A and B are shown apart, each in its own frame.
Chain A
Amino acid sequence: MRLRTSRSALPGFALTLGITLAWLSLIVVLPLALLVLRPWTLGVAGVWHSIAEPRVLAALRLSFGAAVLAAAVNVPFGLLVAWVMVRYRFPGRNLADSLIDMPLALPTAVAGIALTALFAPKGWIGMLLTPLGIKVAYTPLGILVALVFVGLPFVVRTLEPVLMDLPLEAEEVAATLGATRAQTLRRVVLPALMPALLAGFAAALARGIGEYGSVIFIAGNMPMISEIAPLLIVIRLEQLDYAGAAALALVMLLASFAILLLLNLLQWRMGRRAS
Chain B
Amino acid sequence: MANRTAGRGIAVKVEAFELRKAFGRTVALDGVSLSVASGEFVALLGPSGSGKTSLLRVLAGLEFVDSGRIEIGGRSMDGVPARERSLGFVFQNYALFRHMTVARNVAFGLEVQPRRRRPPPRDIRARVRSLLDLMGIGDLAGRYPEQISGGQRQRVALARALAIQPGLLLLDEPFGALDAKVRKNLRIWLRDLHDRMGLTTIFVTHDQAEAMEMADRVAVLRAGRIEQVDSPDRLYASPANAFVHEFLGEAIRLECSVTQGRAHFDALSLTDIKTTCPAGPAIALIRPYEIGLLPGPGPVQVLSVHANGPLRRVRLALAGQALEVLLPEDSWSPTVGQSCALDLSRASIYSLASADTPRSPQALSKTATR
Which A residues are within 8 Å of any B CB, using their own CB?
167, 169-170, 172-180, 183, 187-188, 191-192, 194, 270, 273-275
Write out the residue numbers on chain B whose beta carbons fall within 8 Å of the beta carbon of A273.
99, 144
| Residue B287 CB within 8 A of the other chain | no
**Which residues of B in the span 31-68 have a Cβ within 8 Å of any Cβ on A?**
60-62
Between-chain CB contacts (< 8 Å), 6 pairs: A167-B95, A172-B95, A174-B108, A175-B83, A176-B88, A187-B111
Q: How many residues of B contact A (CB 8 A)?
A: 31
A274 in contact with B113 (CB, 8 Å): no
Query: Contact partner of A175 among B81, B98, B144, B164, CB < 8 A?
Result: B81
How many angstroms from the CA of A167 to the CA of B96 in the assembled complex?
Answer: 10
List the A side residues contacting B83 at CB < 8 Å.
175-180
A275→B143 CA distance, assembly (Å): 10
> Do A178 and B62 touch across chains, with their CB atoms under 8 A apart?
no
CA distance A120 to B113 in the complex (A): 52
In the complex, the answer to whether B62 meets A274 with C-beta atoms within 8 Å is: no
Kindly report which residue of chain A lies nearest to residue B63, judged by CB atoms: A172
Other-chain contact of A172, B62, B113, B144, B146 (Cβ < 8 Å): B62
Q: How many A-B residue pairs have CB under 8 A?
A: 78
Min distance, Cβ B346 to any Cβ of chain A, angstroms: 46
**Which residues on the B side are within 8 Å of A275 (C-beta)?**
144, 146
Please name all residues of chain B whose beta carbon is closer than 8 Å to the beta carbon of A178 when the two chains form the complex. Answer: 83-84, 86, 109, 112-113, 164
User: Could you say which residues of chain A place their CB within 8 Å of the CB of B161?
Assistant: 176-177
- Let me know if A179 and B93 touch, CB within 8 A: no
Residues of chain B contacted by A177 (CB below 8 angstroms): 83, 108-109, 112, 160-161, 163-164
A residues near B87, Cβ cutoff 8 Å: 176
Q: B residues within 8 Å of A by Cβ?
A: 60-62, 81-89, 91, 93, 95-100, 108-109, 111-113, 144, 146, 160-161, 163-164
What residues of chain B lie closer than 8 Å to A179, measured between beta carbons? 83, 108-109, 112
Residues on A with C-beta less than 8 A from B113 are 178
**Residue in A170, A180, A194 whose CB lies within 8 Å of B97:** A170
Of the residues A169, A173, A176, A191, contact of B99 by C-beta under 8 Å = A191
A173 to B96, CA, bound (A): 8
Chain B residues within an 8 Å CB radius of A274: 98-99, 144, 146
Shortest beta-carbon contacts, A-B, top 3: A169-B95, A177-B109, A176-B89
Contact between A176 and B112 (Cβ–Cβ < 8 Å)? no
Q: How far is the CA of A197 from the CA of B170 in the complex (A)?
A: 34
Q: B62 touching A176 by the CB < 8 A rule?
A: yes
In the assembled complex, the Cα of A172 lies from the Cα of B108 at a distance in Å of: 13
Among A169, A183, A192, max chain B CB count under 10 A is at A169
B84 vs chain A, min Cβ distance (A)? 8
| Closest B residue to A192 using CB positions | B99
Q: Give A170 to B95 CA distance when docked, in angstroms.
A: 5
